[in-house]
């Protein structure tokens, strides 16, 4: 399915490079968190699109097969990288990791653990795992909600309205946490209950006006020359505006709304010069191995920066990227591809 959606792998590559650039030392200029938000949106869109296809064909979603496919997609690289990192920390950095922090990583609640305890006690490079915990929580709960909407014969439009309404509830909850409860920044940035809307905006696009499954809504010119520029301006404003209150409340909602237009245009017009580069082979390759890249890139960056301190930061970043790509390609060949074959048997 992913290979048939134009621009998808290119958008994954873009997401990864945003995160990588921030972790490589450009965090003051490159919004690494926005890269994660794009990953969230894409996950929501793709998973819901696949469930929609299955339901329209069979009038049901086989949850056992759904979860088995998700486990085969997420867990093998996840635990391979994580257990390797834990072993390396025990051997070379004894005393720097703690069992409670490791347990949170292993059991997919590290985002909430980190909210209350910080990143202390975790192996180097596992700071990105908080986002995977949110996705695991989404995979566990959302299929039930989707099946319920379908069995209640809720139209695609009303499904989208329900999902957008829930996104609004999440926004209100963030406002309460920030303005009334004085919650710290990690509470709204890392927690599932405050970031799930970034995934749900992608789900809403999948159920109504889906650029892959549904006929185009409205004129192409309106999307290309009015909605898309407006969306890009809003995304730019989300980067420029640095106020904490804005960044931890409205920012995520505006990004989700804007990504709806950006993603629709990228899928509908892959040959347009604005998005054509997303479909070049290098971008598609990085997108294909982006999951393993996301898992291991921070570890590689830390090790290169620790051992090559005399190198210029740009040289450190280039070397780290090259090493991470080689490792990610190896994981893709040895782990991800065989698991993909097993997933197809459950489709």
Q: How many residues does the chain have?
A: 347
Beta bridge partners of 121: 97
Q: Pull the structure tokens for residue 225.
A: 């020359």
How many C-beta atoms lie closer than 10 Å to residue 94's C-beta? 8
How much is the pLDDT for 3?
53
To the nearest whole percent, how much of the chain has pLDDT over 90?
Answer: 91
State the average pLDDT over residues 176-200: 97
How much is the pLDDT for 4?
78
**Is the pLDDT confidence value at 41 over 70?**
yes
How much is the pLDDT for 341?
92
**Is the pLDDT confidence value at 147 over 60?**
yes
C-alpha to C-alpha distance for 229 and 223, rounded to whole angstroms = 9
State the average pLDDT over residues 14-27: 95
- Tell me the per-residue pLDDT of 55-95, one tens digit each, with 9 for 90 and over: 999 999 999 999 999 999 999 999 999 999 999 888 887 66
pLDDT greater at residue 347 or residue 253? 253
How much is the pLDDT for 27?
87
Q: Give the largest Cα separation in the chain, rounded.
A: 63
Average pLDDT, the chain: 95
The dihedral region occupied by 54, where left means phi > 0, alpha psi between -120 and 50, and beta the remainder, is alpha
Model confidence at 142, in pLDDT bands (50, 70, 90)? very high
How much is the pLDDT for 218?
85
Q: Cα–chain-centroid distance for residue 187?
A: 18
How much is the pLDDT for 92?
80
- Tell me the per-residue pLDDT of 330-347, one tens digit each, with 9 for 90 and over: 999 999 999 999 988 877
- Tell me the per-residue pLDDT of 275-285, one tens digit each, with 9 for 90 and over: 999 999 999 99
How much is the pLDDT for 2?
47
Q: Where are the domains of the chain?
A: 2-345
User: With a threshold of 0.85, does the pTM exceed it?
Assistant: yes
The answer to whether 39 and 18 have CB atoms below 8 angstroms apart is no
Contacts for 141-149: CB closer than 8 Å, 24+ residues apart: 142/47, 142/48, 142/199, 142/203, 143/51, 143/61, 143/63, 143/66, 144/63, 146/48, 146/51, 146/55, 146/61, 146/203, 147/55, 147/60, 147/61, 147/63, 149/207
Nearest to 224 by CA among 256, 254, 267: 267
To the nearest whole percent, how much of the chain has pLDDT over 70?
Answer: 98
């Amino acid at each position: 399915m992913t290979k048939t959606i134009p621009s998808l792998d290119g958008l994954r590559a873009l997401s990864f490079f945003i995160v990588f650039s921030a972790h490589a030392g450009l965090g003051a200029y490159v919004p690494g968190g926005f890269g994660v938000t794009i990953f969230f949106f894409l996950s929501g869109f793709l998973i819901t699109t696949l469930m929609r296809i299955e339901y329209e064909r069979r009038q049901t979603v086989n949850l056992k097969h759904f979860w088995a496919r998700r486990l085969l997609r997420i867990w093998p690289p996840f635990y391979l990288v994580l257990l390797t990192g834990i072993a390396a920390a025990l051997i070379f950095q004894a005393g720097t990791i703690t069992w409670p922090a490791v347990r949170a990583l292993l059991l997919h609640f590290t985002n909430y653990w980190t909210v209350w305890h910080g990143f202390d006690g975790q192996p180097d490079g596992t700071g990105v795992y908080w986002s995977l915990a949110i996705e695991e929580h989404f995979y566990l709960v959302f299929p039930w909600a989707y099946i319920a909407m379908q069995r209640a014969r809720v139209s695609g439009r009303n499904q989208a309205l329900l999902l957008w309404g829930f996104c609004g509830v999440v926004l209100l909850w963030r406002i309460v946490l920030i303005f009334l409860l004085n919650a710290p920044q990690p509470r709204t940035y890392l927690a599932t209950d405050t970031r799930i809307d970034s995934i749900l905006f992608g789900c809403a696009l999948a159920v109504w006006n889906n650029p892959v499954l549904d006929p185009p809504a409205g004129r192409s010119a309106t999307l290309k020359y009015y909605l898309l520029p407006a969306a890009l301006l809003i995304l730019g404003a989300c980067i420029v505006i640095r106020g904490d209150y804005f960044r931890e409340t409205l920012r995520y909602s505006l990004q989700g709304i804007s990504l709806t237009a950006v993603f629709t245009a990228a899928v509908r017009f892959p040959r347009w010069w604005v998005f054509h580069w997303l479909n070049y082979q290098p971008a598609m390759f990085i997108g294909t191995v982006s999951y393993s890249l996301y898992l291991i890139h921070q570890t590689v960056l830390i090790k290169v920066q620790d051992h090559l301190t005399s190198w210029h930061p740009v040289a450190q970043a280039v070397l780290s990227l090259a090493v991470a790509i080689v490792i990610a390609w190896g994981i893709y060949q040895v782990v991800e591809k065989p698991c993909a074959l097993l997933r197809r048997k459950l489709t």
